[in-house]
Amino acid sequence: MSYSDTVNYIYNLQKHGIKFGLRNITRLVSILGNPHKSFPSVHVAGTNGKGSTSAFIASLLKISGLKVGLFTSPHLVSFTERIRVNSEEITEHEVMSLTEEIRSKVVDFSPTFFEVVTALAFLYFQRKRIDIAVIEVGMGGRLDATNILMPEVSVITCIDYDHREYLGDTLSEIAYEKAGIIKDSIPVVVSSQAPDVLEVIEAKAKEKNSEVYLYGRDFSAVLKREDPSGICFDYFGGDSFDIHDLYLPLIGEHQMQNATVAIKAVELLSKKITPNSELRTPNFIREGLKDVKWPGRLEMIQDNPPILIDGAHNPAAAVMLSRALVKNFLGIYKKIILILGIMGDKDIEGIMKPLLPIASEIILTSPGYERAAPPAKLAGIAASLGFPEVRVASCVKDAIEMAIKIAECRMQNSECEMRSTEYEIIPKYEICNPKSLIVITGSFYTIGEAEEVLGQKGVLTRLRE
């Protein structure tokens, strides 16, 4: 099969949409020789923070000398971001080769895009002879294609409202789907949760005879410092060990909880697969966190003018973004120019509420995907929330160009008055920085497209499901 035929096959898989259930994926991996049974794993579910937590776990395992596979979704720019071994992305050639191998063995059934990608990741990890894999759930948990795993440790990050059309309208219903990754006698590490969510998780854990390690009860952390370069915190492991002054180069107090959950998961994991591992020593954990990278989360991608991206795509994530911006950036930058592009099936009003009040300028746009909400619809919702004065851009490229012009205009028009002191005359702009911060958010689709607009080259960029 030609390269173009293989690419078309992958793209056409997206037409099958989202189909929950384990029958297809079980059949698919069986045809491939059950590659997921060739390595131990950590399985990570949740609404927010599961990608970051997965990246932290992988980084901690890698620093100990293990060969670590990491499977996450979605990607920002390149499809190859989803599948990595020791931080190195799968190559485009390997994606094509493995896809063709899978396609040649799929005869009389039609797996979905995510099912094929999951099987591809498992097959790739087997071929690379990894020591362990960190696998992020695609959506939900109970019926997600990744749930054929029998992990060494399960992890459930913060659960909130998202994907209601698939997971349910209440937090309890959503929690039931997420808790479906809990396996018999396998420990589960859990982020801080709402009481009704925790009730569902603990009931499932009791049913499965699985021990629950809960953030804030069995282990915890205390934030010591936070600024635009990252956070510093103390880890308290409960009945294990404490570590002081851990540094994480990601912004936001929520990342402290994600990192703390990752530490506890690795601690439990090391007892099971590497009993004599130094993973449980402070130095390894410190080293594993200090250089970790996870793009698209309060990430500054350009300095002049300053542009920050964040993948917040549900109300809870928008609240965390808003808090982090107020705490870390509004003291440095005078104004926030907000570019917002949201999928039409999301809680648009819930995402807007915490973000619109902190913005001096609001630009509403739409990434190039069918599911994206039209800018006019976003404008109508913004007006209903008391923000009628918004700008509209038909695409992300136009929105960024508009924001840059606004930022440049503000810089040119800023008053550069002189202030005298006893010793010298100081330009006013050195005392109060007049720069505006451009913030792009609302969807991973939006920020991924923004990165492309700003020059990042992508591989198989349109495979977004």
Whether 281 and 328 map to the same domain: the answer is: no
State yes or no: pLDDT of 15 exceeds 80: no
Higher pLDDT, 153 or 284: 153
224: Cα within 13 Å, side-chain hemisphere: 11
- Closest to 270 measured CA to CA, from 289, 258, 285: 285
Decide if pLDDT at 104 tops 50. Answer: yes
Per-residue model confidence (pLDDT) at position 270? 86
Residue type, 448: G
Q: Are residues 271 and 320 in the same domain?
A: no
pLDDT tops 80 at residue 425? no
- The domain boundary, picked from 290, 320, 335, lies at 290
Are residues 273 and 421 located together in one domain of the fold?
Answer: no
* Token representation of residue 245: 């002054």
55-65: average pLDDT:
94
More confident call, 334 vs 86: 86
What is the torsion angle, in degrees rounded to the nearest 10, for the CA atoms of residue 325, residue 323, residue 428 and residue 362? Answer: 60
- pTM of the prediction? 0.91
Per the model's pLDDT, the better-predicted residue between 241 and 34 turns out to be: 34
Task: Kindly state whether residues 345 and 417 are assigned to the same domain.
Answer: yes
Q: Is residue 149 part of a domain?
A: yes
**Average pLDDT of the segment spanning 13-19:** 72
The span from the CA of 342 to the CA of 319, in Å, is 15
- Claim to verify: residue 246 and residue 345 sit in the same structural domain: no
**What CATH number should be reported for the domain holding residue 230?**
3.40.1190.10
The pLDDT tens digits of the residues spanning 313-323 come to 999 999 999 99
If asked whether residues 222 and 336 sit together in one domain, one would say no
pLDDT at residue 419 greater than cutoff 50: no
Choice among 221-225, 309-313, 456-460 with the minimum mean pLDDT: 456-460
What's the rounded mean pLDDT across residues 454-464? 76
Residue 227 lies in a domain: yes
Amino acid at 186: I
Domain annotation covers residue 463: no
- Asked if residue 388 lies in contact with residue 382, where contact means CB atoms within 8 angstroms, the answer is yes
Q: Is residue 464 situated within a structural domain?
A: no
Structural domain containing residue 446:
299-453
* Residues paired with 45 in a beta bridge: 156
Domain check: are 177 and 221 in the same one? yes
102 plus 70 within the same structural domain: yes
- The SS3 assignment for 170 reads coil
Average pLDDT in the 72-95 region? Answer: 94
Q: What is the mean pLDDT of the chain?
A: 90
* Residue 458 domain flag: no
pLDDT of 422 strictly over 70: no
> How does pLDDT run across 106-149, given as a tens digit for each residue?
988 889 999 999 999 999 999 999 999 999 999 999 999 999 99
Over the stretch 175-214, which tens digit does the pLDDT of each residue have? 999 999 999 999 999 999 999 999 999 999 999 999 999 9
Checking DSSP bridges between strand 83-85 and strand 68-71, what pairing results, if any? antiparallel
Single out the residue of 5, 27, 1, 181 nearest to residue 116, CA to CA: 27
* Cβ partners under 8 Å of residue 177, min gap 6: 140, 141, 142, 143, 167, 168
- Residue 461, domain member (yes or no): no
- Mapping DSSP to helix (H, G, I), strand (E, B) and coil, where does residue 226 land? strand
φ, ψ dihedrals at 447, nearest 5°: -75, -30
**CATH code for position 335:** 3.90.190.20
At 163, list the tokens: 């994907």
| Mean pLDDT computed over 275-288 | 75
Same domain membership, residue 364 and residue 257: no
Confidence of residue 275 (pLDDT cuts 50, 70, 90): low
How many domains is the chain built from? Answer: 2
Kindly state whether residues 38 and 56 are assigned to the same domain.
Answer: yes
Classify residue 422: in a domain, yes or no.
yes
Residue 413 and residue 392 share a domain: yes
* pLDDT of amino acid 20: 81
Please state, as a whole number, how many other Cβ atoms lie within 10 Å of the Cβ of residue 137.
Answer: 28
pLDDT at 216: 97
Domain boundary among 261, 290, 319: 290
Place of tokens 């003018």: 305
pLDDT at site 427: 39
- The H or E element that residue 364 is part of is strand 361-364
- DSSP track, 244-288: EEEEESS-SHHHHHHHHHHHHHHHHHHHHH-TT-GGGSHHHHHHH
Q: Report the SS3 class of residue 301.
A: strand
pLDDT over 70 for what percent of the chain?
91
The pLDDT of residue 71 is 98
Is 462 contained in some domain?
Answer: no
Q: From 243, 265, 290, give the residue that closes a domain.
A: 290
For residue 463, the model assigns a pLDDT of: 63
Q: Do residue 310 and residue 198 come from a single domain?
A: no
Confidence band of 462 (pLDDT split at 50, 70, 90): low
